[in-house]
Chain A
Amino acid sequence: MKIQQIKARIVSNKEVKANFWLLEFVSSSIAKAAQPGQFVNVKVASGWAPLLRRPLSIHKIKNGKVQLFYEALGLATEILTQRRPKEFLDIIGPLGSGFNYQKSVVKSGKTKNILIAGGMGVAPLVFLAEKIKMHKPLVLIGAQSANKVLCAQEFRNFGCQVKIATNDGSLGFGGQVTDLLKINLTLENSVNLFACGPQPMLQAVAQIATAKNINCELSLEAHMACGIGACLGCVVMTKSGYKRVCQDGPVFSSKELTWEKR
């Protein structure tokens, strides 16, 4: 699939929960080509401040439209909240290599698929859940507290079983989502794990996967400058040396990653 740079018309841009925004834009070509785990690189405003584009995961695809789900937490994402329907957004995408779900999920009907989302990590997993909904994946959502639990209904709408962990115990399981994962790993099934969230969570998921020898794919974050593999800014250490999160990832097999700084 070719990468495209487009001016996409915004359909809607709404705050769906305090500081969490859903933006929909029109692009039949990105909608058609995008795979779960891929992202787009968004220029939030015309002009040169902020200078760089910002990477946002492809959250949902519907009738030639693409949805992004983002948290307003800094300069660029705050500006993005001010963009209005009918305006045009400069977007490059689809970028990166996404979840390798087709191979692993379809392999066996008996395989249990577990999606683990930490905080904003729900963003790419909703798209993945839709693609594999016929396999009825289990979704584990982790958040600080009940009011920060994201997208639970979205996953349920796809027929997924959803379990929630909150750090303060205000909803569902009290504790880390990775502890909830441990409880839900039963021995009789073969399992695929797909996770996105803060790095400590991903590292903990990878540890569990390694200990139990489970297939596990993780979507990483890194500060990016170009988003297309040219600048070598967003690298992560793997068993075969540094790889680019933007192009070789953002999704990596847990077996590849070393979690060392160098």
Chain B
Amino acid sequence: MKPNLSVRLGNLDLKNPVLVASGTFGYAQEFKDLVDLKKLGAIVTKTITLKSRPGNLSPRTCETPCGLLNSIGLENPGIDGFISQKLPFLKKIGIPIIVSIAAEESPEEFVVLVEKLNLIKEIAALELNISCPNLQKNKLIAQDAAETFALVSQLRKITTKCLITKLSPNVTSIVEIAQAAQNAGSDALALINTLGGMCIDIKKRTPKIGSWVGGLSGPAIRPIALKMVWETYNKIKIPIIGMGGIIDTESALEFFIAGASAISVGTANFVNPRVSLEIIEGLSKYMREHEIQNFNSLTGKLKACQN
């Protein structure tokens, strides 16, 4: 029996459910010596904005117990730079490319970005990063259900590409935002982006990162991410791409059982670049051992504790 790992997100078919998360895999070419890229389910690019962005002050990263605090500040070459410098390599890989996009000032920037990306057939899907904590904004779109609904509805009208909305954990109810995105026509949800956090150097009495606060990722946030995926799955019909601290097959399986249809590997790419491929193999093995024919039958199969 050859396990079938394929999944479908909206109109997007993936040969396996393992993605690499935005901002943790660059534009893929950085990993070309270390990872057989075409084996991945899909690649999500670093978030692209309309204009190029220099990014935030350094230091931009700091390690925490089993976690990573970062404040990169969406450094990117802008959409035109992305299309001319980064996309040619991505196109050649031959797997679905998901472009993550964000607005700096006004949601209207999303419209221009989507219109430009609509024209490129090799781009399989768009991920709306409305949840980046490192833009020094008072409020993120993903922290407001009405704004999320308005933006996704507007973009839904102008694209037939698969739309993935990336949600923030820095909210009182992620389910509410997830529902807004679903009702507005999002094909799938990606959760979670990083959690707001900070670290202090007690010798210098300064923050450990240049922009004072940043976003926390890595195994430290996994239980939070998992709960959010589970809560959202229970209230939502569109597929969920789960992420937050996935580092191996076991942690990936937790997310599927909680309700994810696909998963993204983020911070773990920095530690073991091959981890996504190891997870793909691990999932096949798990399916054989548990005689699961189709991977999607595992999603959401969580039962109550038995004692």
> Mask for B59-80, Cβ within 8 A of A = 1, else 0?
1111101111010100100000
Which chain B positions have C-beta within 8 A of A223? 59-62
Within 8 A of A (CB), among B13-68: 23-26, 30-31, 33-34, 46, 54-55, 57-63, 65-68
Q: Are B72 and A231 in contact (CB under 8 A)?
A: yes
Within 8 A of A (CB), among B250-281: 267, 269-274
What's the Cα separation between A241 and B60 when bound, in Å?
16
Within 8 A of B (CB), among A225-262: 225-236, 241-242, 247, 261-262
Contact-residue size bin, chain A (C-beta under 8 Å from the other chain): 20 to 34
A222 at the interface (CB under 8 A from B): yes
Task: Considering the complex, give the chain A residue whose CB is closest to the CB of B209.
Answer: A223
- Quick one: which of B25, B55, B70, B210 contacts A261, CB cutoff 8 A? B210
- Quick one: which of A5, A51, A227, A230 contacts B274, CB cutoff 8 A? A5
- Quick one: which of B58, B60, B270 contacts A52, CB cutoff 8 A? B270
Q: Are B66 and A222 in contact (CB under 8 A)?
A: no
Q: Are A226 and B269 in contact (CB under 8 A)?
A: yes
Q: Are A2 and B70 in contact (CB under 8 A)?
A: no
Q: Are B61 and A48 in contact (CB under 8 A)?
A: no
- Quick one: which of B66, B68, B219, B247 contacts A225, CB cutoff 8 A? B68
- Quick one: which of A51, A222, A230 contacts B31, CB cutoff 8 A? A230
What's the Cα separation between A225 and B25 when bound, in Å?
12
A4-B33, A242-B55 in contact; A53/B270 too (CB < 8 A)? yes
Q: Are B55 and A229 in contact (CB under 8 A)?
A: no
What's the Cα separation between A224 and B210 when bound, in Å?
14
Which chain B positions have C-beta within 8 A of A139? none
What's the Cα separation between A234 and B267 when bound, in Å?
15
Binding site for A on B (CB under 8 A): 23-26, 30-31, 33-34, 46, 54-55, 57-63, 65-68, 70, 72, 75, 210, 218-219, 247, 267, 269-274
Please list the 4 inter-chain residue pairs (A to B) with the smallest Cβ-Cβ separation, ordered nearest first: A230-B26, A233-B61, A230-B30, A226-B270
Binding site for B on A (CB under 8 A): 2-5, 43, 48-53, 90, 92, 222-236, 241-242, 247, 261-262
